[in-house]
Structure 1
Amino acid sequence: MTAVQAFKKYLWIFVKYFSVIFFSFIALLPIVSCVITALKTKTEYENTSVMTPPENWFNFENFVTAFRDGGMGRAFLNSALIVICVVVGSVLIGSMIAYVLNRFKFPGNGLIRSLFLFATLLPGIAMQVATYQLMYQLKFIDTLYGYIILSMGTDVISIYVFIQFFENISVSLDESAYMDGANYFTIFYRILFPLLKPAIVTCAILKGVGIYNEYYNAMLYLTKPDLKTVSLALYTFTGPFGNQYNLICAGVIMTLLPALIIFIAFQNQIYSGLTAGAVKG
């Protein structure tokens, strides 16, 4: 190996590790500052910089105050109910639509797929007027079931993830079951659906995290205090006379933990679900 080749090799190694360290620092800096702020008293926060360590690293008073005064308990229950219902509904709807589009060839199949792709190009904010009018006429505003039905709408990403998985499942399974007397519903629920576990976990996590963090629609359609979600509960400590960022950061940390725990527990399924459908076998 010549000196030039050695220099290029070690330069490339330096660039790779430097990039990893730099972007990791950029990603972790907001979280670290949020944790530091959450552990400070009001006086400390007002008289120190953001990255100044707190005097007491075991000061959890802000977490207790945020949970109690922000109504976090009720908000967690509402968010959990919404996420569970939306995830279950979205997985069932998305997988069934993908099953029909992949296994049945009929006139308009390609058109439907194209319309799904076209729908992703439409900005959601541009359709809010029509959506709000529809929600109002159906009396879905300020109801959990109305918000759940709205959030359970067609998830194009989930549909295409399921379609890619169906591409990797041999049609001979369907044909064998059909020859044995199974109908299409039996083939789907008893044979194909259990094989979609990686895709189900992937879509469930992606959809669940999105709904869990949703603020705009929740603010628009859930205006009653007893219906607020965790994203709305964080705004309890904002107002015209100032924002209590030490309490807000404590609430952010509490809302972050459930999603973080679920992601760590199912990260292998998420990664396999995102990549397995990319290769046909």
Structure 2
Amino acid sequence: MTGTLTPAPTPTRPTTVPPARPHRRRADLGWIATVLKYAALVIACLFALLPIVTIFALAFKTPEEYRTTGPLDPPSNWFNLDNFVIAFTQGGMLTGFVNTAIILVVSITGTILIGTMTAYAVDRFRFRGRALVTGVFLLATLVPSITTQVATFQVISALDLFNTRWAAIVLFTGTDIIAIYIFLQFMQNIPVALDEAAMIDGANRFTVYWRIILPLLKPAIATVVIIKGIAVYNEFYIPFLYMPSRDLGVISTSLFRFMGPFGSQWEVIAAGTILVIVPTLLAFLFLQRFIYNGLTSGATK
């Protein structure tokens, strides 16, 4: 008996729906995170710029406009410079700029010389207690300066430097541990072979420092000049405490004294504030890449 063989049916697998991939969910979360990030940045910028915009608009207003307009209302004449003239002449801002310039130049020059020499000695010389000296430098950055003000004031009085420019110059020059640390980081990137080659040619230690090390530290010097310069320019506590004379006022203390004769003339006070802010703002905008490059260049070897 012949018959046809029918093939057995192949078992069919149950059809299952693959689970949905979370790509869309991740995309939605990324979009929300981006929106929140930029919203936070915009809010932070508003908080930072709103007071500056208010002061800038107020500096160009007349006394009548100050009393009758809102803080964010623009002035009727953006070329009204009367407040700036009053602040610069009657407010003593010219004397403040002169004193600030003298203290700034002398203290930064001293900081560079002392800092580079200290970094050169600590990095190049091998002596007993070298690691301890480096540790003390770093430990000094953790000590709050306000805790040593009594002893510092006694030292300044004993040296007969109170109420002179030298009080601020000495304090600005001798207390910058951060500058020494920056110079040390850069010094470690300079090969010791350069020193040895120069000394084989007959150069002494000071010649090596002055002709080889100091020129190679130009990026670090630029960084210290910018950071130290902005700090000295904006310093208020040291000039106010150690130089109380009006003839020795710097820009910060001169602006503080505006509250006396110009206590009710807020438009003049705003003009003086703009005169103080503009140099620092311009210096930072034009030199910020040197600050970032200088700090990061010395961070790695």
TM band (smaller chain):
over 0.9
Structure 1: gaps (5+ residues)? none
Alignment-mate amino acid for residue 165 of structure 2: L
Deviates more, 1:1-10 or 1:71-80: 1-10
User: What is the SS of the residue equivalent to 1:266?
Assistant: helix
Instruction: Please tell me whether residue 195 in structure 1 is matched to residue 213 in structure 2.
Output: no
**TM-score scaled by length of structure 1:** 0.92
1:242, 1:171 → 2: CA distance?
Answer: 60
User: What is the SS of the residue equivalent to 1:279?
Assistant: coil
Correspondence for 1:149 among 161, 170, 187 = 170
1:74, 1:242 → 2: CA distance?
Answer: 20
Q: CA deviation at 1:266?
A: 2.3
Instruction: Please tell me whether residue 60 in structure 1 is matched to residue 49 in structure 2.
Output: no
Counterpart in 1 of 2:59?
A: 38
Q: CA deviation at 1:191?
A: 0.8
Aligned runs of 1:1-281 on 2, under 5 Å?
Answer: 2-239=23-260, 242-280=263-301
CA contact (8 A) 1:201 1:266 kept: no
Q: What is the number of equivalent residue pairs in this alignment?
A: 280
Structure 2: gaps (5+ residues)? 1-21
CA contact (8 A) 2:107 2:172 kept: yes
CA contact (8 A) 1:33 1:50 kept: yes
Distance 1:256 1:241, change over 3 A: closer
2:56, 2:279 → 1: CA distance?
Answer: 16
Alignment-mate amino acid for residue 259 of structure 1: T
Query: Hey, which of these two has a bigger chunk of helix by percent?
Result: 1
2:32, 2:203 → 1: CA distance?
Answer: 61
2:129, 2:179 → 1: CA distance?
Answer: 20
Q: CA deviation at 1:240?
A: 9.5
Q: CA deviation at 1:259?
A: 2.0
Identity of paired residues, percent?
46
Alignment-mate amino acid for residue 221 of structure 2: I
CA contact (8 A) 1:237 1:248 kept: yes
Higher-Rg member (1/2): 2
2:40, 2:299 → 1: CA distance?
Answer: 27
